[in-house]
Amino acid sequence: MWLTDVFRPRSVAAAHCDLPCGVYDPAQARIEAESVKAIMEKYAASSDPIFQARALLIKEQRSEMVKHHLSVLWSDYFKPAHFDAYPQLHGLFNAAIKQAGAAGGKGSVDPAAGQKLLDQIEEIATIFWETKKAA
Q: Tens of pLDDT along 36-88?
A: 999 999 999 999 999 999 999 999 999 999 999 999 999 999 999 999 999 99
The residues, any chain, with a CB within 8 Å of residue 85's CB and separated by 6 or more, are 131
In this structure, the number of other CB atoms found within 10 A of the CB of residue 114 comes to 27
Q: Which of 125, 122, 126, 109 minimizes the C-alpha distance to 36?
A: 109
Domains of the chain, by residue range, sit at 24-134
Instruction: Using alpha carbons, list the distances in angstroms from residue 46 to 49, 52, 64, 104, 116.
Output: 8, 7, 23, 20, 22
Q: pLDDT (tens digit, 9 = 90+) per residue, 82-130?
A: 999 999 999 999 999 999 998 888 889 999 999 999 999 999 999 999 9
Domain 24-134 annotated CATH 1.20.120.400: yes
**What values do phi and psi take at 101, rounded to 5?**
-90, -140
Predicted confidence at residue 20, as pLDDT, reads 52
